[in-house]
């Protein structure tokens, strides 16, 4: 029964480690890890699903300590907030890295197998997993320099002396693709003298050496631990940079793709209900390559969506968003997109390379500067720097257009979320989008990091006071987003596998047509991306069949379409036949 599985593991290992001859032994080791996982008595049992995903799926992205209450354990406070406000709204929670860490708000992991004791325990994670499906991060490319693996590397203790990548500082590494403008190699004082180690993201985030199979086996064991502890989704952080080969770009190398495929094989065998997601903030074609031949990631992040939605609303012109959406290739079988407009990171601009003209990107950046945002840079091979991401709260990014701020902030922001909820894939909302968190400039001053602008830590009492006061933007956004999500979860046309077609009329509108898998429902999502009232005679909307009504209408009696469809500034309608 296990022979085909074992043979598959061996073939992947041969593709990754072509110069080794112990592929059979390594495959047997992986099989033993899978069997130990199956025999585990700590596994959080998850209710079986009829299908991998459905229109019911909505993901909330949050840190384990994004909401705090004095005297309470943050993960318990988070769990209480989720159960109290969102149990009937979202069914999946992405808790960003909740492990002991030394920097980068969790992405410099000190211990992959423990929960940050300042935030809670595995029992607190399991309590949330009881009510929500969880996404967990496998921070696979690098670890903290305070990680015991790196401490043992410094001490030249086996096997960790081979866990990291040493490079002669005289080596030409100019071809390496850089997501940051920090030096690629960082000096480290070891028991063998000063060594220079590979550090793609920062001097506190030391890249791991996957050319050493021990490292791969270590992470397969960690992967299965997370599934034991309740993970339904596994996010492979910064996976594109995993494999290094001097003289190449060191991004998207064939061995990297083979590692992802091997992890998929492990999950398909040991935990077939788990969804594997790759996080690759790169241009569109490179991002989509992680679907493989339906044998790699189940899902990829739709990284082009955040900057293009923001650009459309900031410019009052949906043409670039429409062109991009119209060219999205059909999904491979068994694959989907994770759609988002904001996350713990900034709004990446690399994914719009070749889509938005440079002048449009620069105009958008200039506008975000006026709204209190920052821009992070990356280093290029020629020594120059270029924009990598915009750091700003999405709510404040919507405070105006390139002409300046105005009074449509809430409407513009809700339009951005309505677009995201309508397109093909599974929607993921960042906690700070859900509650309309403004720029946290004080947090930036405290940390010295521009990404902190969008990583506010709310006091639960303060937040709930704002959410209970209907005149606050937080209450208005929170209430309307919950309403929209509940409506969305009832529409079969919003199933991740439902067909998507883009309808073109003019640059004022972004229009998506969704058709359910069984053709029982057709739904049109029309979004006015301008600050003008649009009067659209139904005769000019010949693509719409008769008998349509607006699911998003606040008054059911007024949901049926008249002879003219009137769209208020930044209004979205979801039209389907009654």
DSSP classification of residue 474: H
**237 annotated as ligand-binding:** yes
Please confirm, yes or no, whether 237 is among the known catalytic residues: yes
Tell whether 142 is in a known binding site. yes
Give the ranges where 342-423 is alpha helix by DSSP (H): 358-370, 394-397, 409-422
Annotation-wise, does 80 bind a ligand?
Answer: no
Where helices occur in 331-401 by DSSP H, the ranges are 358-370, 394-397
Is 236 known as a binding-site position? yes
Residue 164 DSSP code: B
- State how far the Cα of 506 lies from the Cα of 318, in Å rounded to an integer: 8
Alpha carbon distances (Å) from 468 to 60, 207, 473, 535: 20, 45, 11, 35
The reply to whether 217 sits in an annotated binding site is: no
CA–CA separation, 480 vs 42, rounded Å?
Answer: 39
The token pair at 119 is 């935030």
Place of tokens 């649009």: 534
Total length of the chain: 578
The answer to whether 268 is annotated as binding is: no
Does an H or E element contain 527, and which? Answer: strand 522-528
Instruction: Check the annotation: does 111 bind a ligand.
Output: no
Active-site residue, from 124, 137, 204, 237 = 237
CA-to-CA distance for 287 and 280, rounded, in angstroms?
6
| CA–CA distance, 176 with 156 (Å, rounded to integer) | 27
Q: Establish whether 189 is an annotated binding residue.
A: no
Asked whether the CA dihedral 365, 366, 370, 375 is positive or negative, the reply is positive
DSSP E strands, 297-441: 299-301, 336-339, 347-348, 374-379, 385-391, 400-401, 404-405, 426-430
Can you say which residues are annotated as belonging to the binding site for substrate? 104, 142, 235-237, 344-345, 451
Can you say which residues are annotated as belonging to the binding site? 104, 142, 235-237, 344-345, 451
Q: Which residues are catalytic?
A: 237
């Amino acid at each position: 029964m296990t022979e085909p599985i074992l043979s598959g593991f061996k073939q992947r290992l041969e593709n990754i480690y072509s110069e080794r001859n112990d592929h059979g032994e390594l495959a047997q080791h992986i099989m033993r890890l899978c069997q130990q996982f199956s025999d585990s008595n700590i596994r959080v049992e998850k209710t079986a699903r009829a299908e991998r995903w459905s229109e019911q799926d909505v993901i909330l992205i949050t840190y384990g300590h994004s909401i705090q209450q004095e005297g309470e354990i943050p993960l318990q406070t988070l769990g209480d907030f989720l159960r109290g406000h969102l149990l009937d709204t979202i069914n999946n929670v992405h808790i960003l890295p909740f492990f002991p860490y030394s920097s980068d708000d969790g992405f410099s992991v000190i211990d992959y197998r423990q929960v940050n004791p300042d935030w809670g325990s595995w029992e607190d994670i399991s309590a949330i997993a009881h009510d929500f499906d969880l996404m967990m991060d496998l921070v696979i490319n690098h670890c903290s320099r305070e990680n015991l693996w790196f401490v043992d590397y410094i001490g030249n203790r086996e096997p960790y002396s081979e866990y990291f990548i040493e490079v002669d500082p005289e080596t030409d590494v100019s071809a390496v693709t850089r997501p940051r403008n920090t030096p690629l190699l960082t000096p480290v004082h070891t028991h063998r003298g000063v060594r220079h180690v590979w550090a793609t993201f920062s001097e506190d985030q030391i890249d791991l050496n996957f050319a050493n199979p021990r490292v791969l086996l270590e992470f397969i064991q960690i992967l299965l631990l997370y599934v034991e502890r309740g993970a339904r989704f596994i996010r492979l952080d910064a996976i594109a940079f995993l494999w290094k080969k001097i003289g190449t770009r060191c991004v998207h190398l064939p061995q990297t793709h083979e590692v992802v495929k091997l992890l998929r094989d492990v999950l398909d065998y040991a935990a077939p209900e788990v969804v594997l997601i790759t996080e690759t903030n790169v241009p569109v074609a490179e991002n989509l390559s992680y679907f493989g031949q339906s044998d790699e990631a189940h899902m990829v992040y739709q990284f082009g969506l955040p900057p293009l939605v923001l650009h459309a609303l900031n410019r009052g012109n949906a043409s670039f968003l429409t062109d991009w959406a119209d060219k999205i290739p059909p999904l491979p079988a068994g694959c989907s997109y994770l759609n988002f407009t904001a996350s713990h990171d900034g709004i990446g601009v690399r994914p719009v390379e070749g889509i938005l003209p440079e002048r449009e990107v620069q105009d958008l950046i200039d506008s975000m500067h006026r709204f209190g945002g920052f821009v992070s840079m990356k280093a290029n091979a020629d020594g120059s720097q270029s924009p990598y991401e915009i750091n700003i709260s999405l709510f404040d990014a919507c405070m105006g257009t390139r002409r300046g701020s105005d009074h449509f902030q809430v409407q513009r922001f809700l339009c951005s979320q309505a677009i995201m909820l309508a397109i093909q894939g599974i929607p993921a909302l960042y906690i700070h989008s859900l509650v309309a968190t403004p720029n946290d400039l004080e947090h930036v001053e405290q940390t010295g990091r521009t990404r902190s602008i969008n990583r506010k830590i709310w006091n639960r009492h303060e937040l709930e006071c704002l959410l209970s006061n209907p005149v606050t933007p937080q209450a208005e956004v929170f209430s309307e987003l919950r309403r929209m999500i509940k409506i969305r979860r009832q529409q079969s046309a919003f199933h991740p596998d439902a067909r998507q077609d883009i309808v073109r009329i003019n640059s004022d509108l972004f229009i998506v047509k969704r058709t359910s898998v069984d053709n029982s429902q057709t739904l049109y999502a029309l979004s006015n991306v301008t600050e003008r009232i649009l009067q659209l005679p139904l005769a000019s909307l010949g693509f719409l069949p008769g008998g349509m009504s607006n699911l998003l209408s606040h008054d059911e009696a007024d949901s049926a379409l008249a002879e003219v469809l009137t769209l208020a500034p930044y209004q979205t309608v979801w039209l389907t036949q009654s």
